[in-house]
Amino acid sequence: MNVLETASALAAGAVSAVELTKASLEAVRAGDATIRSFLRVDERGSMAAAHASDARRAKGQALGPFDGVPVALKDNILTEGLETTAGSKILKGFTPGFDATVTRKLREAGAVIIGKTNLDEFAMGSSTETGAFQKTHNPYDLTRTPGGSSGGSAAAVAARFVTGALGSDTGGSIRQPASFTNTVGLKPTWGRVSRHGVVAYASSLDQVGTFTQTVADAAAMIDVISGVDALDSTSADLPKPNAAATLEHGVKGLTIGLPDEYFVAGLDPEIEQAVRSAAAIYERLGATVRRISLPHTKHALATYYVIACCEASSNLGRYDGVRYGYRAADSKNLRELYVQSRSEGFGDEVKRRIMLGTFALSAGYYDAYYVKAQRVRTLIKRDFEGAFKAGVDVVLCPASPVRPWVIGEKLDDPLAMYLVDVLTLPTNLAGLPAVSVPAGFTSNALPIGAQLIGQAWGEAMLLRVARAFERETKFCERAP
Amino acid sequence: MKLTLEQVRHVANLARLALSPTEVEAYQQRLSVILEAVESLAEIDTSGVEATSHVHGGVSHLRPDVASNESGTQRALANAPQVSGTSFVIPKVIE
């Protein structure tokens, strides 16, 4: 069952929240020893929430469609009273005293939080291999990565442990793992969802979003978590997307842009073929498909790594061994306490990004790197604005240039690992909403994702276009 | 650009990270590769282009500047490595 089917079954009394939660916990117990998607399962908390949900429903006081639906949260999203580590040794044992706003919203909607999912340390990575505790495996091929950094949430939904999960996307960390696991991964417009209580990586790029089996589920889930929040001044005071209302409106008369720059050397030919087939399907459904140019795309990688690492260097300054998190033993003075706690607490990739960001922000280099990158960011954003102004409703391209690789294959080459995000980074730099939808399988049975990119605040149009493709192809129905 | 060993040590100091001599060399290697890869930015003409610091200007908001203590002192201290009363304990900073 998916989220909406689960909601209907609950509403019809065909199943109880307790039964669903037990089934979810049992599925994790039976299947996660090999997939390793969960860092932590909250058996007591989830069963208590399920009992409370059933009690509400019995009294006719169900909180809405999500009441009693089991979900999972990426472990960089704070959960009051439940350990939250961001996949880092430096936060091992950290038990938040408050919920992230998205956690609170899910609880208020009655959702049952089954547990916390694995990620690359501090969400810095593309394979869910660099977390301090475990590596997650792809349910479609256990020797391969589920992508990252939200690979735990992606794998948990793909394996049907839960019907929906939250992840975060700074440079592709929802869309790329969604494309690797045959799930729908939605990164909303930057500002659509509050970041309060989400462990910060690069604040101007981070955005929380959803993993689901279907587009309709994504539409339902984004309405639960979006909205203005007094605790995040960058959250937008705008109405919820309400994509459900127009989801089945089809694509007749719409214009879909295929950016030349996203179909370049190095793109897996089977992925290219799948995305071109998607374009043909859209044409058959009555949309106009046309080539467009986003000329600054080739600079997105450099722009992203400068901006993201600078912001990371600044954000991760808070881990000093004083107020929370890991503290090194036997430091002789305050300086040594900082240095030893950070050096022992952070992993290699995190240190590498802190070092790069600290360098780029240091005296004499700030203008040449950070300010320059922010100017190029403006050009990347203008590329998209130009396409939309010229009549494009939604952009269609691959989510990842490569198929899921064998675990460990890219770990020794950071630059090769960074390159796999080249088709998702521009959207974060431009702050736009984007979704990866199941678009078929490679000849070796690995999932392929098509990425759709919408206008700012245009989640409803984006999901409408995604739904038209899903209705036609039904790739989402193929389980691992 | 290629970083010198001295620059790597300087940046590590700014970032409050301790690096062994082998690590300093490894970082020199790896950071230089990444810096060379981002050097292409310098070739782009950005004269007259504004820097984007907030990607969608105008939709953010401010709340009234009113102090609150919703979390409470005990919760704020709950994850501290070492506390004394309502204070965080750190090594002595003044001799």
Residue A65, pLDDT score: 92
Residue A414: pLDDT over 80: no
Q: How far is A343 from chain B (nearest CA, A)?
A: 5
Token pair listed for A71: 């979900």
When the pLDDT of each residue in chain A is averaged and rounded to a whole number, the result is: 97
d(C-alpha A401, C-alpha A394), whole Å: 19
Q: Chain A window 386-445: which residues touch B at a Cβ cutoff of 8 Å?
A: 414-415, 418, 429-431
Contacts of A320 in chain B (CB under 8 A): 16
Contact A415 B33 (CB under 8 A): yes
Q: Is B18 within 8 Å of A339 when comparing Cβ atoms? A: yes
**For A198, phi and psi rounded to 5 degrees?**
-105, 125
Q: Place A223 in a pLDDT band, splitting at 50, 70 and 90.
A: very high
Query: Chain B residues with CB inside 8 Å of A381's CB?
Result: 52, 55
Query: Closest to A334 (Cβ–Cβ): which among B10, B60, B93?
Result: B93
| pLDDT surpasses 80 at A179 | yes
Does residue B32 sit at the A interface (CB-CB below 8 Å)?
no
Q: How far is it, in rounded angstroms, from Cα A285 to Cα A275?
A: 15
CB count within 10 Å of CB A92 equals 15
| Among candidates A332, A343, A414 on the partner chain, residue whose Cβ is nearest the Cβ of B30 | A414
The pLDDT of residue A413 is 80
d(CA A40, CA A74): 10
Chain B residue whose CA is closest to A341? B17
Which residue carries 């690992």 as its tokens? A417
A230–B34 CB contact, under 8 Å: no
Which of A242-256, A439-453, B34-48 has the lowest average pLDDT?
Answer: B34-48
Is A367's Cβ below 8 Å from some Cβ in B? no
Decide if pLDDT at A419 tops 90.
no
**pLDDT above 80: residue B31:** yes
Phi, psi angle pair for A44, to nearest 5° = -65, -50
Nearest CB neighbour to A355, from listed B15, B40, B70? B15
A331/chain B closest Cα distance in angstroms: 7
Residue A101 CB neighbour total at 10 angstroms: 24
The answer to whether B91 contacts chain A (CB < 8 Å) is yes
Question: Rounded CA gap, A458 and A222, in Å?
Answer: 12
- Mean pLDDT within A211-240: 96
Whether B22 has its CB under 8 Å from any CB of chain A: the answer is no
Q: Please answer yes or no on whether A431 and B31 come within 8 Å at the CB atom.
A: no
Position B62 pLDDT exceeds 90 = no
Instruction: Tell me whether residues B31 and A337 touch, CB distance under 8 A.
Output: no
pLDDT value of residue A159: 98
User: What residues in B contact A335, CB-CB < 8 Å?
Assistant: 16
- Distance from A277 to chain B by nearest Cα, in Å? 33
Q: What is the pLDDT of residues A227-236, one digit of tens each?
A: 999 999 999 9
The Cα A317–Cα A6 span in angstroms is 43
Among A217, A169, A160, smallest CA distance to A193 is for A169
Q: What is the pTM of this model?
A: 0.97
Dihedrals φ, ψ of A21, to 5°? -65, -45
SS3 assignment, position B8: helix
Tell me which residue in B12, B34, B82 faces A414 most closely, judged by beta carbons.
Answer: B34
CB contacts, 8 Å: B91 with chain A: 331-334, 336-337
Render the burial of A9-48: b for 16+ CB within 10 Å, e for the rest. Answer: bbeeeeebbbebbbebbebbeebbeebbbbbbbbeebbbe
Instruction: Look at residue A265 in the predicted model and tell me its pLDDT.
Output: 82
Residue B73 has pLDDT above 90, yes or no: no
* A222 contact partners, CB below 8 Å, separation of at least 6: A186, A188, A192, A193, A209, A210, A240, A241, A243, A459
- Containing B83, the helix (H) or strand (E) segment is strand B83-84
Active site residues of A: 74, 149, 173
Weakest-pLDDT range from A245-254, A349-358, A390-399, B71-80: B71-80
Residues 6+ positions from A294 with CB-CB distance below 8 Å:
A259, A261, A262, A380, A383, A384, A387, A395, A426
ipTM of the complex: 0.95
Q: Is B90 on the interface with A (CB under 8 A)?
A: yes
The answer to whether the CB atoms of A334 and B81 lie below 8 A apart is no
- Give the residue among A466, A464, A461, A459 at the shortest CA–CA distance from A189: A459
> Do the chains contact at A359 and B34, CB–CB below 8 Å?
no
The answer, yes or no, to whether residue B81 has pLDDT greater than 90, is yes
In chain B, which among 40-79 make CB contacts under 8 A with chain A?
40-42, 44, 46, 49-56, 59-63, 70-72, 75-76, 78-79
Task: Give the dihedral of Cα atoms A134, A135, A136, A137; nearest 10 deg.
Answer: -140
Two structure tokens written together for A256: 């879909």
pLDDT of residue A32: 98
Beta bridge partners of B88: B83
Query: Does residue B60 register a pLDDT over 80?
Result: no
Identify the band that residue A157 occupies on the pLDDT scale cut at 50, 70 and 90.
Answer: very high
What is the least distance, in Å, from the CA of A243 to any CA of chain B? Answer: 20
Distance, in Å, from the CA atom of A383 to the CA atom of A261, rounded to the nearest integer, reads 12
Band of residue B92 on the pLDDT scale cut at 50, 70, 90: confident
Which residues of chain A does B75 touch, with a Cβ-Cβ cutoff of 8 Å?
97-98
- pLDDT given at position B1: 78
Q: What is the pLDDT of residue B61?
A: 79
Size of interface A-B (CB pairs under 8 A): 172
Candidates A250, A203, A264, A7; CA nearest to A112 is A7
